[in-house]
Structure 1
């Protein structure tokens, strides 16, 4: 079985109708690793039409046991093909191979169990107490029904994880799906489509994968009247465009967008035990994570000590060839992203001080590599402290007291994640409750798990993934009333 070459449309593996393709480029080598179909509007129309027919004419939306069966098949088939997927993800995403043992591959395959198990006990229908309404004793039933056709638009940083995160929730809810992956990481989505076709009983049209380099083709998922819901992970700018495009048909929109997450280390916390972890996490996958803690807030009197600890920690982070299992960090995804990160490095140099890194690297002849970079001396309103850089850049900011720390932490347009550290558990919890953020880690506690909802406040998005909430993003609510017997 050759994975990652053809789209899945209405149960068939197909090339683009126009015969076109585009190159899939390895960001570590800048070499083409394959070509994939470059769909046009007609291809997307066919996929949407197939999803519409499958939703309207099959029992997919109502047969919960069958959906569980198919998701189990998908999980098992992904495990069987994991060793084919592993090098593919490393090559097209530039992710360190070490991460494929966790969130980039093996973890997400296991995450499918969340929705498989949730379906076993989820009440799609429940009764309200009988009640006299306008003189009539009435039985009332509340039903949760599949929203319909879902357009899933995914990014390049954690591609298979996000493809599975979105599509497993929509499929579990009984929706049909058209998946449009990022053009930088198309092959793993195409492979997912092939696995669905060859190894599951998912009916034709229920799951479709369309690859395209044309944003106009992708936008059809947001504007098309036969698409009932759109789920996107991407930048806040892209989220605004999708939300505006979807307004014309008033479709459901779930957005998991950007972040500029802050870690607050209070004055009673132990810097030496906390900051090495901060230095490491900013370098994981070259900082290309929406919930990465990119701002470190420390008491003003400890800034110098904090910077020295961070400098030592970041200096020791192994980075380079993502295929080397000893490396924690590889390249950023493409030349445009590399140039964007370098622009922020130069901005930080002008506004403050680059303590470590901050230059175009000369370590490699090819590849979109940037240096792990530590920044201090900038104000909390500087571009590098406000914008989502999406690179390995950690900004150290001073604060004067707890109120000042919360004010600075919440001073961006984002509200995706945050963290707080204190020797006083209740003090830390008090700060956590004040943050305007969708997830908060307290004293190293990890919020990331499939039974916990994930999403953001403010311009970090709308809706939630995982948890019961992730399923319900793709369900409509219907109330039925009938005179009581």
Structure 2
């Protein structure tokens, strides 16, 4: 069993709860169940570390610690890989990409950024009443950060919050998802055992209920809340944080559209769309879950996508040949299945899939055709391997349908004409966008959404600056 990390110490708890292997549905270990008292101690430790140590001002210490943590993650990567496969249900091949190996480089990126990032900025001198005034801006750490992460990509999302916060000089209380606690607690153990990060700078908690997260979001000693999860929960986090006007970063839901223009390579696009929706069993906020196709080619494209979905291998995520693993829980599978059934009742055609597979929490790759763009399945995030095909009449109609949602996280377009594709991409209200399969995901690329997909950006320079305050200073110099 893993331990909480509070004030530099690895802590056991009286209460524990089971962590399940979603590929089998069986318990494989138990996780510490933090109480609100544990959370209070973690916040107090982070507050003390920020207010009374030189963590926020010692740039070289922060660089060294980020490099140490990067090295520890690389050296213990195989252990973390096996844990991620078992607890998250991520496939082995996905851990060599966005579930583990690519996110590890986030720590190196921010260590390198911190070396040269200007923490001061000179403004022009001004003359006021015969005196010369020098003016400048200094950038300072924002303070104590509460970072609350979901189950789907716990390594990537946890690293994307922790690394820039530490680089900026903040102290952090990182709360794991109740569904994937051990993967995040393993990060805390590496910090405690393999880095010089001072006590209290990083605290890592896991809990089975909502009380700890609610406490962190509303706590008066927390200066910044960074939350990734559903839009519904994000609204509650924002409401809790508003009581003391703390800074809030939210990375929330998505209902992203992949648009196939009439000059696209339909064979290539159908393969891309099919395998995208099955990546991590569709449990990704930026996955394109709506496929917008020219009306006159609807049936042709549906047939091609269905054929590709039939090629998706699913099952044991530890098998290197498995492309798609399970959903995280029976509760999530119930949600997905219920939404598919309601979509069919509302008039969508179930082309393939829509079946549970046991043991574990597997759900077959699912294709719904002729979907009404105003229907639930086209408007609400599903977080499962379910693709909704929606016909459109022309480019303007495609843009209208793609933008007609409360979300604005991601999307994509396929076209033989790059200029046409770029012009359409610029009309979509989303924070990220893929043109002809372009991959925007990397440590240096800001990630986040428009509208109710969130507030702020993660990764890149923008992600670093989320954790900085700006102070303007002026002094008479002549």
Partner of 2:7: 10
Is residue 2:145 matched to residue 1:150? yes
Partner of 2:209: 214
Q: For residue 247 of structure 1, report the CA deviation from its aligned partner.
A: 0.2
State whether residues 345 and 359 of structure 1, in contact with CA within 8 Å, keep that contact through their aligned partners in structure 2: no
Partner of 2:225: 230
Deviations 1:47-85 (A, max 9, x none): 000000000011110111110100000000111111111
Partner of 2:290: 295
Within 2, Cα distance between the matches of 1:273 and 1:322? Answer: 26
Within 2, Cα distance between the matches of 1:27 and 1:51? Answer: 33
TM-score (norm 2): 0.98
Partner of 2:356: 360
Deviations 1:313-342 (A, max 9, x none): 000100011111111111100111000000
TM-score (norm 1): 0.97
State whether residues 130 and 484 of structure 1, in contact with CA within 8 Å, keep that contact through their aligned partners in structure 2: no
Partner of 1:403: 396
Unaligned runs of 5+ in 2: none
State whether residues 256 and 460 of structure 1, in contact with CA within 8 Å, keep that contact through their aligned partners in structure 2: yes
State whether residues 40 and 214 of structure 1, in contact with CA within 8 Å, keep that contact through their aligned partners in structure 2: no
Within 2, Cα distance between the matches of 1:433 and 1:20? Answer: 51
* Pairing of 1:117-136 with structure 2 (within 5 A): 117-133=112-128, 135-136=130-131
Partner of 2:321: 326
Within 2, Cα distance between the matches of 1:43 and 1:253? Answer: 23
Q: For residue 133 of structure 1, report the CA deviation from its aligned partner.
A: 3.6
Give aligned pairs, total. 477
Q: Secondary structure at the match of 2:433?
A: strand
Partner of 2:441: 448
Partner of 1:197: 192
Q: For residue 135 of structure 1, report the CA deviation from its aligned partner.
A: 4.9
Within 1, Cα distance between the matches of 2:133 and 2:94? Answer: 55
Q: Secondary structure at the match of 2:300?
A: helix
Is residue 2:108 matched to residue 1:113? yes
Within 2, Cα distance between the matches of 1:133 and 1:92? Answer: 63
Within 2, Cα distance between the matches of 1:136 and 1:407? Answer: 56
Partner of 1:31: 26
Is residue 2:132 matched to residue 1:141? no
* Pairing of 1:364-379 with structure 2 (within 5 A): 364=358, 366-379=359-372
Task: Say which of 218, 231, 239 aligns to 2:234.
Answer: 239
Query: Runs (4+) of structure 1 moved beyond 6 Å?
Result: none
Calculate the aligned-residue CA RMSD, in Å.
Answer: 1.0
State whether residues 5 and 205 of structure 2, in contact with CA within 8 Å, keep that contact through their aligned partners in structure 1: yes
* Pairing of 1:310-325 with structure 2 (within 5 A): 310-325=305-320
Within 2, Cα distance between the matches of 1:435 and 1:427? Answer: 13
Deviations 1:103-148 (A, max 9, x none): 1111111221110111011001121111124553210110110000
